[in-house]
């Protein structure tokens, strides 16, 4: 994929225009974790992960990658890594899988790659291997980048493996913006369609480089992907991703993080819902 097209192109331009300012901030209110990544740091993680997928797991353009991951900065990294390498990302809610939902891709005719959080590995690893998963990758999502607490047989530990890969990724000419890039809620979108939707969303929500967008949404819908990653990239804004949101900290977080737009959690005297600007 050319460096100036597709979601990867949005990231390239962000790195060129504003490499040092925060792009993604992540909170887990259950653990007290806070992580902040500049565009350059985020891009390094994306490149390492894309190289890991292509060189380590032999992923090719069009390979499907099922992401059984919660709202998290590493989920955003995996989405962008898939798009950089021309892979089709299919995010799945881990909680729904724990409750019996399938972790298989929408198209089961070809082998696929499964990336899953530690919390669901015990539920899906055996079934995924039997059901056509060519590779299974486990993510600890540990705040300090620690390995899996328990790595099942046949599972690759992302935290252990990814650091060995290069922090620059160059896609081949076979990766095109017209190819499928994301499947959510039984709909598939190309890389070009994602960029178009991101720009439309940024315009609709009146986002610009001055905005800080607080998001409490899953990446398992198009709105979640646009709000939690692509619209901020397209507009120059930065995003704050929340997990295990604690309403008691909302007011303090809005102030400390200089939030201008919220999506998902309630705002001041407002119900939760789509992105809306704070007064």
Per-residue pLDDT of the chain (279 residues; tens, 9 = 90+): 444 569 999 999 999 999 999 999 999 999 999 999 999 999 999 999 999 999 999 999 999 999 999 999 999 999 999 999 999 999 999 999 988 888 888 888 888 999 999 999 988 876 766 578 899 999 999 988 899 998 988 899 999 999 999 999 999 888 999 999 999 988 999 999 999 999 999 999 999 999 999 999 999 999 999 999 999 999 999 999 999 999 999 999 999 999 999 998 655 545 456 788 987
What was the pLDDT predicted at 1? 44
265 is a domain residue: no
Q: What pLDDT score does 123 carry?
A: 85
Domain membership flag for residue 107: yes
What is the Cα–Cα distance from 211 to 269, expressed in whole angstroms?
20
In a domain, 70, yes or no: yes
Q: What pLDDT is recorded for position 265?
A: 65
Predicted TM-score (pTM) of this structure: 0.95
Domain assignment present for residue 114? The answer is yes
* pLDDT at position 226: 97
φ, ψ (nearest 5 deg) of residue 209: -65, -15
- Is residue 2 a part of any domain in this protein? no
Q: Are 103 and 153 in contact (CB under 8 A)?
A: no
The DSSP secondary-structure symbol of 196 reads: H
Does residue 220 belong to any structural domain of this protein?
Answer: no
Cα–Cα distance, 90 to 68 (Å, whole number): 8
The CATH number covering residue 154 comes to 3.40.50.980
The confidence score (pLDDT) of residue 3 equals 46
Range(s) of the domain holding residue 175: 48-184
Q: Kindly list the distances between the CA atom of residue 171 and the CA atoms of 4, 66, 111, 205, in Å, as whole numbers in the listed order.
A: 12, 20, 21, 31
The predicted structure's pLDDT at residue 227: 96
d(CA 157, CA 147): 7
Q: How much is the pLDDT for 2?
A: 45
pLDDT at 244: 94
Q: What 3-state class would DSSP assign to 172?
A: coil
151 in a domain, yes or no? yes
278: helix, coil or strand? coil
Structural domain count of the chain: 1
Residue 22 belongs to a domain: no
pLDDT of residue 122: 85
And the tokens for 189? 């979108």
What pLDDT does residue 274 have? 74
Which of these, 144, 143, 91, 153, lies nearest to 121 by C-alpha position?
153
177: its two tokens: 């913006």
Confidence at residue 236, expressed as pLDDT on a 0 to 100 scale: 97
């Amino acid at each position: 994929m050319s460096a100036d097209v597709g979601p990867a192109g949005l990231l390239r331009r962000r790195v060129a225009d504003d490499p040092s300012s925060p792009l993604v901030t992540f909170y887990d209110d259950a653990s007290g974790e806070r992580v902040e990544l500049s565009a350059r740091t985020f891009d390094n993680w994306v490149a390492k992960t894309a190289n890991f997928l292509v060189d380590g797991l032999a992923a090719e353009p069009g390979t499907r990658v099922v992401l059984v991951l919660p709202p998290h900065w590493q989920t955003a990294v995996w989405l962008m890594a898939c798009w950089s390498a021309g892979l089709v990302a299919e995010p799945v809610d881990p909680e729904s899988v724990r409750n019996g939902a399938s972790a298989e891709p929408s198209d089961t005719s070809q082998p696929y790659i499964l990336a899953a959080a530690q919390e669901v590995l015990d539920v899906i690893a055996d079934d995924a291997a039997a059901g056509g998963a060519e590779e299974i990758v486990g993510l600890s999502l540990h705040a300090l980048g620690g390995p899996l607490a328990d790595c099942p047989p046949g599972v690759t530990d992302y935290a252990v493996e990814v650091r060995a890969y290069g922090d620059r990724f160059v896609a081949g000419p076979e990766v095109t913006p017209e190819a499928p890039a994301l499947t959510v809620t039984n709909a598939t979108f190309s890389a070009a369609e994602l960029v178009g939707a991101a720009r439309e969303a940024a315009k609709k929500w009146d986002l610009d480089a001055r905005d800080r967008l607080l998001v409490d949404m899953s990446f398992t819908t198009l709105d979640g992907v646009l709000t939690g990653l692509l619209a901020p990239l397209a507009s120059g804004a930065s995003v704050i991703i929340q997990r295990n949101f604690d309403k008691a900290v909302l007011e303090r977080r809005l102030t400390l993080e200089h939030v201008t737009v919220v999506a998902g959690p309630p705002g001041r005297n407002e119900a939760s819902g789509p992105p809306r600007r704070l007064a």
